[in-house]
Structure 1
Amino acid sequence: MQQPWQTKWPERISYGLSDAADNLVFQMMTTYLLFFYTDVYGLSASAAAILFVVARLADVVESLIIGIMIDHTHSRFGKSRPFFLWYALPYVIFAILTFVTPNFGGNGKLIWAYVTYLGLGFFYTAVNLPITSILPTMSKNEHELTLLGVIRQFFGSAVQIIVAVFTLPLVALFGGSNQQQGFLYTIILFGIISLGLIWNTFLQVRERFSQPEQAHQPLKDVWHMLKQNKPWFIISAVILLYWLTTAVKNQTTIYYFKYIQHSESLVPLVNGFTFAALIGVVLIVSAAKHLGKKHTMLAGIGIATLGQIILALGTVVNQLPLLLAGTFVNSIGNGLIIGLVSIMIADTIRYGMTMGIQAEGILASTDDFGVNVGLGLGGLVTAGLFHLSGYTANHAQNVATQHMITLNYAWIPLMLYLVMFIVLLFYNEKQLLAAIEASDI
């Protein structure tokens, strides 16, 4: 029997704005931080590659730590909700510090980059993971959880597009020819907005449904449940592949248009076509109701793959209209994929509760784990291949580097989408939902 709806629109909007808040900073990291480090801050591509690997290895551990912290939090606000209050301010502070360019020597600047970027990664996890872990406690209604996940992703995707389109114009507005100043003032603006939105989420959202006897179980019992939660493993792999794909492609976009198309000014235009992700997101409620979440996500991967094929052909024939069309179609598919991630993780959390374990912190950590590992590997792939091909910042690139840029922008993401599709085929949604319904979780 379907449960009644428990949330109202102010709470739904505030929940969605939490992801918008995080993405104001996060999108700058995924899209522009590698460029900032190599072409503005002054790190070599190899140094940036190593930094990304170290940071992502640290983030893997941090995701687990934050997940355990959530599962062992006892407060009058709940388990997940207080993290929005506690960690929003340090998150914004470290975001700003990451884009500060100190007047240090080479080693000093590298140390500063490590300290600030590693700190940013930890506090990002601390404010982002609770968005996923709190979802299954907000309602028991299957359709309401889907709506909440869609609202979250709609705002998150909208802000991703805003950041992708307006960051470089804001950098130019605030800094003119001084990109160091421009990036710093831009992140200060984004950080202030982010802080207000995260604290608003703390004030508005509520944790309603928790099983006290299941909520604080020993780690050995949680690990036993995880080993039986096959849907969790599969969706975790899909998340990792998605963010690996996103990192490789997004980080390369500015290089492709700067060094292949010789027109860096086209980046905001191309990124503007990613607004089509919102089309995919708003289709989720209807599509999931008729097709189920698994087949809706499979459809999204298929659409994203088609768009990537169009984009790849655009790089072969060097036609901007094909690049724009490919970006548009690919983004619709991406909206369907990423919009379902937190919803399907919520399902795996509820599936774990059918085994007597409510471990939303650890299970939700797979989202940040996939983000962090995917971004780390993506940064390693991009920066590492650039280094091997002889990339030199702010100079005309050799033929090998040009080929490597195109490979990262078009062909590696295409291969990863195909792998993602195959992995998701093993997700047994019918078994998961039947167990949840039988247990009335």
Structure 2
Amino acid sequence: MEHIVIIGNGISGVTVARHIRKLSDKRITIVSAETEHFFSRTALMYIYMGHMKYEHTKPYEDYFWKKNRIELKKGYVKTVETTSKTLHFEGGDTLQYDKLVIATGSKPNKFGWPGQDLEGVQGLYSKQDLDTLERNAPNNKICNRAVIVGGGLIGIELAEMLNSRNIPVTFLVRENSFWNGVLPEGESAMINRHIKNHHIDLRLGVNLKEIKADENGRAKSIVITETNEEIDCNVVGLTAGVSPNINFIKDSEIETNRGVLVNRHLETNIKDVYAIGDCAEQRDGGIGQRRPIEAVWYTGRMMGETLAQTICGNKLEYKPGHWFNSAKFLDIEYQTYGWVFAKPRENEAHFHWKHEDDTKCITVCYDTTNNKFLGINTFGIRMRHDVFDRWLTEERDVDYVMQHLPEANFDPEFYKHFEKDILSAYNNNLQTA
């Protein structure tokens, strides 16, 4: 019986396993050193905040694996020998495969900061990271201040988590405005204000110089590069992005760049070896305007579904469709559909509307040559993915989208408060343009 081995039990690895089982009777083994069973990584923060328990983050009961004949092997893969199709584990044992799927996800970036490996310094990615945070920052008596380094989505999650336990937070952001490499100016500025309104000490345009240790080898303070200011803290959260977790294959014949290089069918250069999820990198650039590596939950799921078909004899190309994503900035929900870049590109314009309460806004991007709708960002107003996906496919013009925005609204009663205001502002913008 053909043996499929999947390294990694995140959304990508578990999805490919589930769909292979739906389609075939192949032997399936999932290898992971993180947890015995799949959990929702995006829900980790809610365990710390007391909104959920760990068992609530597991989409499947533990018997699911036995029922579906999916074997679980706990351990770290040390090397992959592709000629003999053998995995070698740190414990010295081995595992043979017929087809191998690499789905090892990401690891937090470290940039060689002095003190980055001290006790009390950590990322927020794995279940182990959450357990470490619970030890490092159980309350504001044990942790009198935390410093977060890096202004992305994981950084704002960690800030919200610590804030929920009344632990003072200093937030170091290298850019001069929060996440301004992704968000247009008006949105980024609104989020800056929102962070500060939650009594988080946001420091913009600064870099970490070093982390200092106490006599026990624990972090006791950080130093800011630009000012040499020293800030006392018990915990340092390193959230300056993530990188593909692929060190274990660097010496193998599998080709890598930043990630494991794959073609549109998610195949590597080695026959019967595939890569999916955060650790996979499209060999000839991103699909459409997407990035070659996408550390996004839903693309990992889509890759898993696509690859299962290929492994089971129905070769499919990975086609992720229109870009979308969602996140949360403290208590402001964010959604994006299509493409809204931080700065309009050639022949693009942005229409921006912000509510007077400074917690809700939208930015619409369109092509100035033909008025074609290109994308929308929403903050504090929830919209329907299927409607925007359809409008992007139909290549609607921006006037049509603005006139029909109520159709995309997720909560019509709530949205009615802003409907006339947005349309009026858009029409005024047209007249003055």
Question: Is the structural similarity TM-score above 0.5?
Answer: no
Q: Given the two structures, how large is their TM-score scaled by the length of structure 2?
A: 0.27
Structure with the bigger percentage of helix: 1
Higher relative contact order (CA 8 A, sep 6+): 1
